[in-house]
Structure 1
Amino acid sequence: MALSASDLPVVYGLLTNSMSGDERVRKPAETALSQSESRPGFCSCLMEVIISKDLASQDVRLMASVYFKNSISRYWRTRRDSLGISTEEKVHLRQKLVSHLGEENDQIAQMLAVLISKIARFDYPKEWPALFSNLAERLQSADILTSHRIFMILFRTLKELSTKRLTSDQRNYSEISSHFFNYSWHLWQNDVQTILHGFASLLQNYDSNSQQHHVELYLICERWLLCLKIIRQLVISGYPGDSKSMQEVQPVKEVCPILLTAAQSFLPYYASFLNRYPKFWDFVKRACTKLMKVIVSIQGRHPYSFGDVCVLHPVMEFCLSNITDPRSEVAAFENFLIQCMILVKVILECKEYKPSLTGRAMDESRVSLEQMKKNISNAAGNLLASLMPSERIVLLCNILIRRYFVLTAIDLEEWYQNPESFHHEQDMVQWTEKLRPCAEALYIVLFENYSQLLGPVVVSIVEEAMNGCPVSVTEITPGLLLKDAAYGAAAYVYYELSNYLSFKDWFNGALSLELSNDHPNMRIIHRKVALILGQWVSEIKDDIKRPVYCALIKLLQDKDLSVRLAACRSLCLHVEDANFLQREFADLLPICFNFCFKLVEEVQEFDSKVQILNLISILVGHENEVIPFANQLVQFFQKVWEESTGESLLQIQLLIALRNFVIALDDQSTISYNILLPILHKGIDINSPDELNLLEDSMELWEATISHAPSMVPQLLTFFPCLLEIMERSFDHLQVAVNIIEGYIILGGSDFLRMHASYIAKLLDLIVGNVNDRGLLSVLPVIDTLIQCFPAEVPPTITSTLQKLILICLSGGDDRDPSKTAVRAFSAAILARILVMNTTYLAQLTSDPSLLHMLQNAGVHVEETVLLCLMDVWLDKVDNASSTQRKTYGLALSIILTLRLPQVLDKLDQILRYEPFLSCICFLFFYIYLHPILCPFLDMMNIYLVFAQVL
């Protein structure tokens, strides 16, 4: 029944109760609201609550907007199972939303903007064609607050519509861009001037500014930011990428230089407002960062238009000068420097700016699309070359290493206070979030582009640093910090620097001496040496691998946790290396395990435990001799599992380590069962709260456990029903499941079949007919194995599955599909095997009325008998069958020949064309004509079964 205005007090009361701290009050209210969502009129009641500023509390209004949003997501589209929201109510709601644009509460205003954007996704332009024109009209006479809210709605709506990918939707978006861009752009430019004028007034009249003036100016600032986001959205999504369309995007050339100018204008206020106007200082920080991010995103979308001299030249000049010689306000503005580095990095690695090395065909009369791309790329490449002369490249490289790579006093204090956290912040942080990782990323791209120029430069910096800070120096001096930075620079570009620097000489000389100095301050260098030993792994020759392994083991027992974790990571790289020398590491394995066990006791952070467990897992997976350490590893795994409750990533790493452990133990894997089987049981339990995260790795562990078990144990047998529950949920892990089933068949034998025959039947019936051809090809070998192992017991158990295989064989339609042909050939071979090994059962199966009914429902017409139809399939698919399958076909046909049916004899010439069939016929001839004289004691089926074993 529909809700009306009279129900408004009830809805208001339910919304109020849904926020109660008393669960006895909250739960019934939430249930009632959930049940009301699909009722007509519910959204209209919520809308009335939202717009009742004076009558309803702010919390209730916000809650109403949340329920409104959820209802739109679920019921705005027409649904068959619910009356939902009628067309009349939708019209009413759209009118109400557009009329309520001056919402004062920020949270509710944001929620209303989201509401309108979601409705626009469904209704624009067919049901709501006047949306943008109405908003534009309201903008003409809006006050500052209302205009801010309108721009909030515009941004949300444009962002929502930009995700629609149909051609018609993109065409509509282009039309919006063409209408709205100019208006938004002019308003944005006007607001820039207003804001800058307001900022100047703030500094000149610090004491006399009224609070009301601050509020209005801040609203203009926020509106300006929204307008900037809209402009970005229009330029990015309103035009096709120019690298594909080859159409110049004029707004790029108009917008980017002015965005750059705006950033330059705002930057001085970053320092001026810091202690005087915190709110406006925060805006300047966000504005400058956002301006640079918009330029980065425009370059990524329209690289060719961005490559014009009026854009690329000022942008690169601005960014490079800020990186190499920043003004005081920029030097302290880390986020802005990061954006400058990101922009230089993406420009340097942009493939559209790489000069083409191919020429143009001599007889080509017109400029092709590819030639246009080459021309633009060459022009942009030449412009970059002029902006990046050798002197500037060398200067930038030096600045990055000598200024941005060097650890600061704050870094050293953080390291001293918490070495573990410092390691992870330096090692795992996203490169776009911190200045030093961003500088390192830019340096790597710079070196890749100009390796021949910079190779000798980096080597000279390394040599200068080593000479300026001998190994005997233990004080934390600028020279020591420069050496740390230089070592880092050498580590990051090992693949190119090896042409200019001999690792063997470096290691045997300076690096080994560095490691011999155990002063606490040397942790700075030791950590970077650990990094070098890991990064240079591919360049390390066999004759020094052993000393390098020993060096890493030594670093693994350093007093500083950050150094030990760095050594742990580098050891992983060495053990995983294709040229890892196992024989040279064998005697170090006990020491390595012991230090890992100790290290995991000392660390506190989750990431550290994952990293150590990863090394242990890799060691177990690459070393054959782990049995001497089996008891220690079992105890270690047990402890880690007990401590990993609620930490899915750590548990996943443990499952991987256990899998490697089981594989390494092979037939002695039973010594791990005390810990392995309980963990495995939890991982494959689909009712476990961690099922979603652990199931994939648990399945692989289960497969490894079955594959390497010397015999079946009762507890493993009890796990099998879990496989049916997993497959009933999804076929995501089908291939692993198939391997597990096959392992149980071979390992469990008749005991397994006796206990779980019904589960096997359900599993196969679930899979066959519900998976694609690739899935069928993975499960058919299991059915074949089952029949070979239990020819008398299995076929009657899996009748439903075999009927589906007959349907597959007789359905046809595989002439042009190799995978369907393979499925039919394999299915036919399975049925042929049953005929050979259990002839009576196949005769019953092919004459079963339920089979004939199923074939009839599927539209398969059987002219004679199903068995003769199968004979046609065997003859038809012989060329698509494997050698073993062809022999099975031949043996099955030899049995059919004993029936002496005219339909069979008519095809005798076709049968005799194939060698496998011919050999079977010879065998049959031997039996029929010579058997009474030579072998009166033999039974024909016994001979067939002996012959079948050969298959």
Structure 2
Amino acid sequence: MASLYFKNGVLKYWRKNAPNAIAFEEKSEIKKILLLKFNEPVQPIAVQIAVLIGNIARYDCPQEWIELVPTLVEVVQNNDLLVQHRGLLVLLQVVKVLSSKRLQRDRIHFEELTTKLYDFILNLWDVFTQLFYTNIQGQAALEMCAANLEKAIISLRILKKLTIYGVPGPHLSPKCMLFIRVVFQRLKELLDCRLRVKQIDKQQNVSKNLTEQVEKFIIKHMKFLNLFFETHPASFVEFIPAAFNFSFHYVFHEGTNLIFEDNVITFPNFAIQCLNLIKGILSHSLINVDGDKEQIINKAKNEFFTPERLSYIFEKIIMHYFLLTSEEFELWDSDPESYVLDEGGDSWKYNLRSCTEAFYMILFQKYSPMLIVELQKFISKSQSITLTESSNISDLLIKDSIYNATGLAVFNLFDEINFDEWFTQQLLEELKFKTHNFRIIRKRIIWLIGRWTGVRFSKSLRPEVYRACVELLQPSEDLAVRLTASKTLKNIMDDFEFDAEQFLEFLEPVIALLFSLLKESNECDTKMTVLYVMSFIIEKMSMSIKLEVESLIQYLPMLWEESREHDMLRCAIISTLLQIIKALYEIPTPEPIVAFIYQIIKMSTNINEPSHVYLLDEGLELWLIVVQYSKAMNNDLLKLCDNLLPLIEQSSNNLRTCLAITETYSFLCPEVFLPSYGKDIIKTCHYLLSDLRAEGVIVIYRLFLTILRVARKYSIELLRPYLVEVFRKYYEHEGFLQINQIYLQMIARVLILDQVTFSMILTEMGIPDALEKILTTWLNDMPIVGRSHEKKLLALALTSLITVSNDIIFDNFSSIMTNISETLNDITNEDEQSGAKVEFLILADDNEDEIGMIMHGYGFIDTENLQNETPHYDRCRKVCLQDPIHVIVLKDYLQSQLIALKSSIGAERYQTLLSRIDLQILKELSDFVSLGVQFPI
């Protein structure tokens, strides 16, 4: 505990600028004491102290701890074996830490350190390795063997860091090149030594600890070669022939008897490293190499990968590495869910089958013409093997291996193999065998079909595949086969040629069978996979689905309870619910399920629940969809909003979704939602404005605009405390153009809704020229407004102003009429039949396409909802149809306002106002309205 606390304290307080940092004098004393004692007897404590010294070295080495490395070199040369080991352990941690620093200055320091240490560490590695050989040959005590081997391993780890990160051009360093060359020879010696150590372990009947250490040492060498190639590919060029021959010799020659016993590989981790080395060389694009090195590379590949050797490697892969092993059968029988789990990712780094498959695909990619011919031979061989219920398992394993090789190479074979014919004439027949051993073939064939579907597979044969999947999903079938069939089903449906009508007859049985599979699965990952397949099918068939999924919905609450410890499974459940709601919103949902959905939303969006960290994104998405698809407000749905305000206050990445939920509630029932939660939400949003970037500010003000649309009377009262700031910000006219345009839209909305409030706000600003400055800026900004509906909103507000008896309005009358005229020209089209001017923003109830486009332009709906109408769509539609922009005909409103203006100010002053307008503008206006006076136009 003391060593741990000491280490953590250094991490926290050693930096000079850390709060309560350790004083310089105290640091000096600590460093002095740490270098006095290297005989800690307990290994875990020694490791912690070594890590501690490494952490200090990160901050102080080399400038402020010059004596560290010389002291460690001296300690490593000590005759006391324990002191020597502890010194090496500390040196490893110091080198490890210093090699990880990436600033140019630090890299130069590490290169200087490497120059000083390289020969010394290289010699240590060689000496300790030779001592280990001598100990084994002289049958020394196992403790002595293990001690020298451990020191050799630590020396190699230090050497690896120095070589990879401390030598900028290894090919320019004779010592580095010698080291790489010796590594290949050392590996051969260690593989021979491994066999002798295994014999010693058997004879002395002791644990395999020493054998495991030898194997660890071998793997460390192989990992070093792989990392060296990845980091310094140009420096590795001269070793490519040796790497090819070495790896090929040990991986594909069972006769060497070094990693094989009775044709079974006994050292898979070594084989993985060898295969990864060949694969890395084949797949790596060696850049910045001169012409000579490029010729060496190509020559090495051509000389090694001859047609004969490729054929040999290909046969070994299929007839050995791709065959299922006894260990795989044991896993299949004991834990079929783990057996079919898709490891993916970096599994090729540690799993022999994944590694071999990755190597095979690279090989096929690089030498496809030759390997296609080889594979076709094996496919012909598999087709010649006639299977019966009593077929030998070896025939099944060979077929499985060939089918696997074919499936992995599908993208190279689509022009070479008639899969439709193969499927109908052979594969379908082989799927019919139901004996236990034939599960191998059934699983592989249905996997192969899934691979081929995305490449080339006749649409007319899809129903046969669906039928086969239904058969393989039956509860009587092997669990691994059922899980594979479910994944294949998803792959087939996730294809651009998928036809929902073809699948319709299989929909109900497939859902029922997947539901049964879901209940029988035990592992969280398996349940997630099956749930994903089910939700994908529901989403894909949402336009056609009419089946009763009550059994699935009833099962989900039970599954939710069982998954308390599996938050990712709960995420999958939420995603499935989301798809069900989208697909089946027209079907009444049972009350218990509605309550269950509300419970999920409440828990996953409650910031006081620990699991909300994992569930929040899916929970918010579900919440949004539930509100959008709800036909009416209820108390439980409204009560969920208790979670909304704390989420908005966090101002996190989910703010946009939270505001979308707020907006959707406002459409659903503004008269209930806004009085209950609107005031606090708007207050919080206003508070956040000062901390948000322009994008966030726009999102919040767009919410305010929506509230002005959906609750015209109440919205003014709700937003009243913050409108003065909006007016003032537009008066100042600073910041982004887009934000200023939103301010202007809010001002226009207020003016249209309530001129008294508009006037009061101007008075509250306390600025004498507020109206004049705002109006002038408005008239200057209006020509650059791009959207027709926004421009019309501003024109309507200006039109409402022209009857106001105010000198500022009269002074700007000409500019007001000019902007209104330009807007009329922008928003009207000429009727083809009558030739009359028709405003296209006026919405008729039956003009669905235009309504949908306008709602999408406002951001009320997305394109998905545009195609699939929902209750939210209907509510947005209603708001649009009642909006002044789409109800009031601008030219008619302008005509009535001009008549009112003439009546209120008299004909003489009215004519004076019109005389200030440009004659061309008057002519354009006269096309829309009657001006009531004659002008010599």
| One-letter amino acid of the counterpart of residue 292, structure 1 | M
The letter for the 1-side match of 2:660 is N
Contact 2:393 2:437 in 1 (8 A): no
Indicate the residue corresponding to 2:559 in structure 1: 640
Deviates more, 1:775-784 or 1:839-848: 839-848
The answer to whether the 8 Å contact 1:634/1:675 transfers is no
* Aligned with 1:619 (options 530, 537, 561): 537
Whether 1:768 aligns to 2:689 is yes
Query: 1:154 & 1:306 partners in 2: Cα distance?
Result: 27
- Paired with 2:90 and 2:724, the residues of 1 have a C-alpha distance of 60
Deviation of 1:591 (Å):
0.7
TM-score between both structures, scaled by the size of structure 1: 0.81
Q: Are positions 1:478 and 2:394 aligned together?
A: yes
| Aligned equivalent of 2:900 | 931
Deviation (angstroms), 1:734? 2.3
* Distance in structure 2 (CA, Å) of the matches to 1:803 and 1:240: 64
Structure 2 distance, partners of 1:794, 1:374, is 74
SS at match of 1:792: helix
Alpha carbons of structure 1 residues 763 and 217: separation in structure 2 relative to 1, 3 Å: same
Structure 1 window deviating more from structure 2 (507-516 vs 631-640): it is 631-640
C-alpha RMSD of matched pairs (Å) = 3.0
Check if 1:872 corresponds to 2:777: yes
Q: Distance in 2 between matches of 1:863 and 1:342?
A: 78
Tell me the amino acid that sits aligned with residue 662 of structure 1: I
Instruction: Classify 1:465/1:831 alpha carbon distance in 2 versus 1 (closer, same or farther; 3 Å).
Output: same
Residue 394 of structure 1 deviates from its aligned partner by 2.0
Matched, 1:345 2:271: no
Q: Which residue number in structure 2 is paired with residue 777 of structure 1?
A: 698
Alignment partners' CA distance in 2, 1:407 and 1:224: 37
Match of 1:387 among 304, 320, 329: 304
**Aligned counterpart, 2:451:** 535
Q: CA contact under 8 A between 1:613 and 1:654: conserved in structure 2? A: yes
Give distance in 2, aligned partners of 1:584 and 1:167. 63
CA contact (8 A) 2:799 2:897 kept: no
8 Å Cα contact 1:534-1:574 kept in structure 2: yes
Contact preservation (8 Å) 2:443, 2:484: yes
Aligned-partner Cα distance in 2 for 1:913–1:250: 84
After superposition, the Cα gap between the structure-2 partners of 1:414 and 1:918, relative to the gap in structure 1 and judged at 3 Å, is closer
Choose from 494, 506, 509 the match for 1:588.
506
CA contact (8 A) 2:802 2:897 kept: no
Looking at structure 1, the residues matched to 583 and 291 of structure 2 have their Cα atoms a distance apart, in angstroms, of: 55
Query: Do 1:249 and 1:302's aligned partners in 2 also have CA atoms closer than 8 Å?
Result: no
**What SS class does the counterpart of residue 768 from structure 1 fall into?**
helix
Contact 1:420 1:562 in 2 (8 A): yes
Following superposition, the deviation at residue 737 of structure 1 comes to 1.8
Q: 1:744 aligns with which of 647, 655, 665?
A: 665
Counterpart code for 2:179: V
Report the AA paired with residue 294 of structure 1.
F
SS in 2 for 1:306: helix
Equivalent residue number for residue 299 of structure 1: 229
**Residue 220 (str. 1) matches residue 148 (str. 2):** yes
Q: Which amino acid aligns with 2:360?
A: Y
Query: Larger deviation: 136-145 or 404-413?
Result: 136-145
Alignment match, 2:244: 316
**Secondary structure at the counterpart of residue 720 of structure 1:** helix
Residue 360 of structure 2 aligns to a residue whose secondary structure is helix
1:271 equivalenced with 2:191 (yes/no) = no
Tell whether 2:211 aligns with 1:281.
yes
Cα contact 2:449–2:488 (8 A) shared by 1 = yes
Among 446, 466, 481, which residue is 1:549 paired with?
Answer: 466
* 1:762-801 alpha-carbon deviations (Å, 9 max, x no partner): 3422442322222233333222111112233224433565
Residue 717 of structure 1: CA displacement? 0.9
1:701 aligns with 2:622: yes
Q: Does 1:498 align with 2:414?
A: yes
Asked whether the equivalents of residues 39 and 86 of structure 2 are also in contact (C-alpha less than 8 Å), the reply is yes
Which of 35, 50, 54 aligns to 1:98? It is 35
Number of equivalences: 825
- Aligned residue identity for 1:477: I
Q: Are the aligned partners of 2:665 and 2:673 in contact in 1 as well (CA < 8 Å)?
A: yes
Q: Deviations over 1:620-656 (max 9, x none)?
A: 1111244432312211222221221211121111111
Change in Cα spacing, 1:598 to 1:146, as seen in structure 2 (3 Å) is: same
Measure, in 1, the Cα distance between the counterparts of 2:293 and 2:128: 35
1:560 counterpart = 2:478: yes
CA distance in 2, matches of 1:779, 1:734: 9
Counterpart Cα distance in 1 of 2:803 and 2:730: 23
Partner Cα distance (2:344, 2:692) in 1: 44
| Partner SS, residue 691 of structure 2 | coil
Distance in structure 2 (CA, Å) of the matches to 1:767 and 1:148? 59
User: C-alpha distance in 2, partners of 1:91/1:870?
Assistant: 71
What is aligned with 1:258?
Answer: 182
Change (3 A) 1:196 1:766: farther
- SS of 2:348's partner is coil
* 1:526 aligned to which of 420, 427, 442: 442
Structure 1 CA distance for aligned equivalents of residues 292 and 594 of structure 2: 67
Q: Which range moves more in the overlay, 820-829 or 628-637? A: 820-829
Counterpart residue number, 2:849: none
Deviation at 1:164, TM superposition (A): 3.1
**Cα distance change on mapping 1:889 and 1:178 into 2, 3 Å:** farther
Change (3 A) 1:591 1:926: closer
- Alpha-carbon spacing, 1:826–1:256, altered in 2? closer, same or farther (3 Å): farther
Q: 1:802, CA displacement in angstroms?
A: 4.4
C-alpha distance 313-932 of structure 1, shift in aligned 2 (>3 A): closer
Match of 2:495 among 577, 580, 594: 577
Give distance in 2, aligned partners of 1:178 and 1:877: 70
Q: Deviations over 1:522-575 (max 9, x none)?
A: 101001011101111112121111111111111112521111111111112122
Q: Which amino acid aligns with 1:458?
A: L
Deviates more, 1:897-906 or 1:716-725: 897-906
* Segment of structure 1 superposing worse, 645-654 or 777-786: 777-786
Which letter maps to 1:303?
A: P
* Structure 1 counterpart of 2:157, from 208, 229, 249: 229
Superposition deviation, residue 875 in structure 1: 2.0
Q: Which residue of 2 aligns with 1:76?
A: 14
User: Matches of 1:161 and 1:761 in 2, distance apart?
Assistant: 52
Alignment of 1:53-452 (within 5 A): 63-78=1-16, 82-141=19-78, 143-202=80-139, 209-210=140-141, 214-239=142-167, 253-277=177-201, 278-307=208-237, 309=238, 311-326=239-254, 327-331=256-260, 332-352=266-286, 376-377=293-294, 379-424=296-341, 430-452=347-369
CA distance in 1, matches of 2:285, 2:174: 21
Report the more deviating stretch, 376-385 or 540-549: 376-385
1:680-735 superposed Cα distances (whole Å, 9 cap, x missing partner): 21111111121111111111111111222222222111111312212323421122
SS of equivalent residue, structure 1 residue 289: helix
Could you list the runs of 5+ residues in structure 1 that have no partner in the other structure? 1-62, 203-208, 354-368, 815-819, 853-861, 937-951
C-alpha distance after superposition, 1:84-114 (max 9, x if no partner): 4222111111211222233221111111111
Q: Judge which range, 125-134 or 189-198, deviates more.
A: 125-134
- Identity %, equivalent residues: 24
Structure 1 position 201, deviation (Å): 1.8
Whole-angstrom CA distance in 2 between matches of 1:248 and 1:800: 74
CA deviation profile, 1:440-476 (whole Å, cap 9, x unmatched):
1111111111112111211211221232x31215344
Once the 2 structures are TM-superposed, how far is the Cα of residue 924 of structure 1 from its aligned partner?
8.3
Query: Equivalents in 2 of 1:462, 1:775: separation in Å?
Result: 60
Amino acid of the structure 1 residue aligned with 2:509: I
Question: Would the alpha carbon gap of residues 925 and 571 (structure 1) be closer, same or farther in structure 2, given more than 3 Å must change?
Answer: closer
Distance in 2 of aligned mates of 1:863 and 1:166: 59
- CA shift in 2, pair 1:314/1:765, >3 Å: same
Contact 1:405-1:485 within 8 A present in 2 as well: yes
Q: Which letter maps to 1:339?
A: Q
